[in-house]
Amino acid sequence: MKRIVITGMGAVTPVGIGVDAYWNNLIAGASGIDTIKTFDSSELAVQIAGEIKDFNPSDYLEKDLIRKTDPFMQYAYIAAEEALKQSGLEIEPERTGIIMGTAMSGVATTAFTQEALSGASHKKVGPRFIPKILGNIAAANIAIDYNIQGPSFTVSTACSSGGDAINTAMMCMQTGKADAMLAVGAESVLCPLVIYSLANAKALSRRNDDPKTASRPFDVTRDGFVIGEGGGALVLETEEHALARGAKIYGVIEGCGNTCDAHHVTAPHPEGRGAIACMKQALAEAGLSPDDIGYVNAHGTATNKGDAVETGAIKAVFTGKLPYVSSTKGATGHMMGAGGITETIACIKAIETGTLPPTINLHEVDPECEGIDFVPNTAKKAKIDHAMSNAFGFGGQNSSIIVGKYNPAK
């Protein structure tokens, strides 16, 4: 199999825009969760989220692009721009492709447009509405500006969309359809429609009075996840292509897993059947044993069932030496389609720096989650060569991505 290497990274997150800001705030234990600012949430049961702070799209994008894009598209574009710039990739149009991962595309724009339409005397919807809400238009805008003419897919596998974008990009290169791929994940779902539904499903934390500590992965007091938004991007290349152009290589995508629980549309399989199979599949593709993995960035959303099931699944796979595990969703909230990529970036940075990001707001581990070092509250130094990022979503979707330190002699 061709080795697939990482040559560029980009991130737009609630704890910082840009990979450096994102990473530095993660390891400092900062929280990006606060009271919602983009609309009046005072009458909602849930009034908190991980929004992108101090975001002015005109600082990053041309006016015409802003007018025709939804926020999730803007986050995708900005993350992709950072990743491409860092990679120094000179795009060969027909040999470069793009995979976009998003769970809910332009749902917030849809909701706010319908609300405005319902209350208007003149029933008019602008011509940009449809292109703003289509998931694939995020990739299309990036492709248009960078002349990317190769494979283009948009993956929508709930909260595993970002991880599955990486997997799909890797498959495109393994089959010879491209030499370089841009894998992007982005999400912006903040609107009353989505919040009402998730709140009524008892999936969201209601700690409106203490936003920064509301997301509590693996803690006995956790009461649900916090919605986050943002974007992440990776430039992936075959090793041969990257070396031929003298690119700096930040790591290797060693293996990917994708499975389905085939159990329930929202609840995970109680024995973690799909999650276990997914992690094992990624390990098999990487040619690694469980003991080789030094760190797992868990899905860890802070839901009661989800955290307990994932803990059991990790223990079932890593039956020997347990890896360090942390959930960065305590800091960012649940970024859905963006999470699978930004959390993979956290794994790459953990390998590069020898620092593991903490699970903030973890003060008393749930008895159902005991037995694992979740790196509570404070970053930890640890030399690791391989790390895994898990992303599990509604419908029983499971994604596991294994990244490793680049060894040119391998």
For residue 101, with 0-12 CB atoms within 10 Å meaning exposed, 13-18 middle and 19 or more buried, which class applies?
buried
Structural Rg of the chain based on CA atoms: 20
Annotated catalytic residue: which of 241, 269, 299, 386?
A: 299
The H or E element containing residue 349 is helix 339-353
Helix, strand or coil for residue 222?
coil
Where do the DSSP E strands lie in 167-323? 180-187, 230-238, 251-260, 295-297
Q: Which of 159, 256, 278, 347 is catalytic?
A: 159
Distance of CA 69 to the CA centre of its chain: 20
Answer left, alpha or beta for residue 362, where phi above 0 means left and psi between -120 and 50 means alpha.
beta
Cα separation, 185 vs 210, in Å, equals 29
Residue showing tokens 């690791």: 384
Instruction: Pick the catalytic residue from 241, 256, 278, 334.
Output: 334
Residue 159 designated active-site: yes
By C-alpha distance, which of 401, 105, 98, 107 is closest to 233?
98
Longest CA–CA separation in the chain, Å? 69
Q: The dihedral of CA 354, 22, 302, 268: what is its sign?
A: negative
Residue 182 has which token pair?
């841009």
Phi, psi of 291 (to 5 degrees): -65, -15
Write out the E strands in 39-167. 48-49, 96-101, 152-155
| Rounded-to-integer distance, Cα 357 and Cα 335, Å | 17
Q: Which residues contact 176 (CB under 8 A, 6 or more apart)?
A: none
Q: Is 299 a catalytic residue?
A: yes
Instruction: State the residue for tokens 């109680």.
Output: 270
Alpha-carbon torsion 78, 212, 342, 227, what sign? Answer: negative
Give dist(CA 162, CA 155) in Å, integer.
8
Residue in the structure block whose two tokens are 């009524």: 200
- Taking the alpha carbons at both ends of the chain, their separation in whole angstroms is 13
Catalytic residues: 159, 299, 334
